[in-house]
Amino acid sequence: MILTVTLNTALDITYRVRSLRPHTSHRVTDVIERPGGKGVNVARVLAALGHEVTVTGFAGGATGRVVRDLLTDTSGVRDALVPVAGATRRTIAVVDGHSGDTTQLNEPGPLVAPTEWGAFQDRYEELIAGASAVALCGSLPPGVPVGAYAGLIRTARAAGVPVLLDTSGEPLRRGVAARPDIVKPNADELAELTGSHEPVRATQDTRRRGARAVVASLGPDGLLAATPEGRWRATPPARVHGNPTGAGDSAVAGLVSGLVENLPWPDRLARAVALSTATVLAPAAGEYDARAYEELLGQVAVTAEATAA
């Protein structure tokens, strides 16, 4: 079982309009609702790849009930979310049908009380005992300690469970120091962490700070990986237009699934890039176009880079 943690779950709502223009009214041509938050998106993709997945984190209020109801209809995903008094947030993606671009609106999460955080930690310790890997994903809702991910990483390491961390800012900095197996920042998050806007140097610096492997998302340019086994770049065959919401989460699913399947790093990276690109082509947040994924998988270019002196 792969465990995904989404402390700031969401109801992802995707609106499609013919053309998005400021200061005007729009007629929505299509609406799609999905349970969301980064770890939930990761879980959905992992399940589609054939893995058994459990999701945990927080859910509350009317929106939280909708998220949990939708999770019951997601094949292969087990709901182990912890209830909170506050309301789960919503995220709104508005897709411009003319340009293919997407505008994203993210609500803040609920305030998590100390007793609720304690209940989550108890649930996490129970779940980690049966996990083959854990992905810690996304932002922290108000009330959760900034060092939360660092503590969860240490708990997983004590249980012998490999950890992937995908977050930003101070939670990322503290989490890296707890020595996760993989971190997956984007270029901006990597620069904020290290102070370097040169991705190769920044990935090396992040490894020195504690991460065993670093896989940096370079947006449409693919992934850059610095690992104990070597360094690679993985790039898609062409740039695509669509809804990028969840593309990074699909990359995480590719990396985690490759980890538990013991795939070589180049194969993990090819899967991650193909899934990420196929997610941009999908109509709703946090899903991927299965046919595009199969076509892209053999077209992703993975090249080894010389190790710096």
Active-site residues, by number, are: 249
- DSSP class of residue 186 equals B
Residue for token pair 């997610």: 279
Distance, CA of 185 to CA of 28 (rounded, Å): 33
Distance, CA of 61 to CA of 63 (rounded, Å): 5
223: β partners? 217, 234
Distance, CA of 244 to CA of 217 (rounded, Å): 13
Distance, CA of 243 to CA of 97 (rounded, Å): 10
Distance, CA of 172 to CA of 194 (rounded, Å): 11
Residues 6+ apart with CB under 8 A from 173: 193, 209
For 213, the 3-state DSSP assignment is strand
Closest CA to 249 of 97, 55, 86: 55
User: What phi-psi label fits residue 111: left (phi over 0), alpha (psi between -120 and 50 degrees) or beta?
Assistant: beta
CB atoms near residue 129 (< 10 Å): 9
Instruction: Confirm if 264 and 213 have CB atoms less than 8 A apart.
Output: no
CB atoms near residue 76 (< 10 Å): 14
Buried b or exposed e, range 185-207, using 16+ CB within 10 angstroms: bbbebbbbbbeeeebeebbbbbb
